[in-house]
Amino acid sequence: LLAADGTVAATVFAEMSALAVSTGAINLGQGFPDEDGPREVLEAAREAIAHGVNQYPPGPGMPALREAISRHQHHWYGLSVDPMREVLVTAGATEALAATLLAFVDDGDEVLTFEPSYDAYGALIARAGGIHRTVPLRFPDWRPDHDELRAAVTDRTRIILVNSPHNPTGAVLDRATLELVVELAHEHDALIVTDEVYEHLVFDGEHVPVATLPGGWERTLSISSGGKTFNTTGWKIGWVTGPAALVTAVLAVKQYLTFVNGAPFQPAIAAGLDLPDRFFAEASASLAAKRDVLLAGLEAAGFATSVPSSGYFVVADAAALGEPDGPEFCRDLPHRAGVVGVPVTAFVHPDRRDSVRSLVRFAFCKRREVLEEASARLAALT
């Protein structure tokens, strides 16, 4: 990441957002919504600031938020989580991932993820001294091969890091795959870490938290965040839940990373987690409608697509347009069409990029008229 001249390579998201700004293109690159989330959540943050919730909160997070996270895990998943010992609030899911990997990965330990994978995983695993192993998910259905998964887990595997619902593919891993993850973790004495930030944005199928599976809870740290669920990606309120001994080890690292974070946003996210089921159903239905708008637009423009079951993104194949090189296509697209996407190569190790060379990720967490305009621009691409 650090070049010889001392500069740091920007993440693909920072790079593509900068390109969108400099060209004035529609930014379907970095995944963030272009509308605010629920009024109750925004009001609660304003109130917290007005009422002096502006100093360091307690290290593990404010009790009101830890209790809301515990209620949320029980209400949605039937899990009993002790808010005082089994919940830790973090600076987004990103810090939760960083602190967890730093807590448990020693030099040479292997961490297994599916691939493509969220770009932070590889960077954080390397920073922790670990070795990143992967099992491929293949366009367009992204279903993992169970034999490949079995073969990838060995006694060197320290952590199986599962992201479902999945970025960038929108895949939701099925119960059988997650059960196999639990079985393999037991067989090889590995921990499971789950990244569930898109847990409430599922359109088809069902989100199954690994911690709910038989044998799952005792060796799983579950990570989520309020950013996607409440359209507050800039607030960076995340959390980890799991057995007290595991959560305590993550807290030991967090206390010297950020110490604490986001005081007035913590009660606001707590208010969000307590919203009625209707809110969550409407949020995902509204996003599913946006998915359909962008999917139709991409197909009309000649892309081959895979239909995401969840999340913010659709992956499209530009080879169908005669564009075999995704990174080059994405660099040119803002100039040619006024639209920004992200090449899927950014989510794959450099040695294995050929299989995803022509794939591009587009975000649909945008207003309908923005998606329609982007679709029209892509259809006019020559």
Residues that bind ligand GLN (CB under 6 A): 11, 13, 30-31, 167
What is the side-by-side strand order in the sheet with 304-305?
Answer: 304-305, 313-317, 359-363, 342-343
- At its nearest, how many Å lie between ligand GLN and the CB of residue 32? 7
Distances (CA, A) of 342 to 11, 19, 120, 137, 208: 11, 11, 15, 18, 28
Q: What residue type is assigned to position 66 of the chain?
A: R
Number of C-beta neighbours around residue 354 at 10 A:
9
- At its nearest, how many Å lie between ligand PMP and the CB of residue 16? 13
94, 134, 222, 231: which one binds ligand PMP (CB under 6 A): 94
Q: In whole angstroms, give the CA distance from residue 100 to residue 170.
A: 24
- Sequence-separated (6 or more) residues with CB below 8 Å from residue 346: 12, 119
Kindly state the helix (H) or strand (E) to which residue 187 belongs, with its residue range. Answer: helix 175-187
Q: Which is nearer to ligand GLN, 19 or 247 (CB)?
A: 19
Does 225 bind ligand PMP (CB under 6 A)? Our answer is: yes
Q: In whole angstroms, give the CA distance from residue 33 to residue 352.
A: 31
33, 216, 227, 326: which one binds ligand PMP (CB under 6 A): 227
- At its nearest, how many Å lie between ligand PMP and the CB of residue 175? 20
Does 342 bind ligand PMP (CB under 6 A)? Our answer is: no
Given a contact cutoff of 8 angstroms between Cβ atoms, the answer to whether 175 and 210 are in contact is no
Q: In whole angstroms, give the CA distance from residue 137 to residue 377.
A: 30
Q: Choose the one of ligand PMP, ligand GLN, none that binds residue 11, judging by a C-beta under 5 to 8 angstroms depending on kind.
A: ligand GLN
Q: Which is nearer to ligand PMP, 197 or 287 (CB)?
A: 197
Q: Choose the one of ligand GLN, ligand PMP, none that binds residue 25, judging by a C-beta under 5 to 8 angstroms depending on kind.
A: none
Q: Which is nearer to ligand GLN, 30 or 222 (CB)?
A: 30
Among the listed residues 140, 201, 115, the one whose alpha carbon sits nearest the alpha carbon of residue 165: 201
Q: Choose the one of ligand GLN, ligand PMP, none that binds residue 92, judging by a C-beta under 5 to 8 angstroms depending on kind.
A: ligand PMP
Q: Choose the one of ligand GLN, ligand PMP, none that binds residue 93, judging by a C-beta under 5 to 8 angstroms depending on kind.
A: ligand PMP
- At its nearest, how many Å lie between ligand GLN and the CB of residue 133? 22
Does 118 bind ligand PMP (CB under 6 A)? Our answer is: yes
- At its nearest, how many Å lie between ligand PMP and the CB of residue 373? 23
- The single-letter DSSP state of residue 310 is B
**For helices 326-337 and 12-23, angle between their N-to-C axes, nearest 10 degrees:** 20
Residues contributing to the site for ligand PMP (CB under 6 A): 31, 92-94, 118, 163, 167, 195, 197, 225, 227, 233, 236, 238
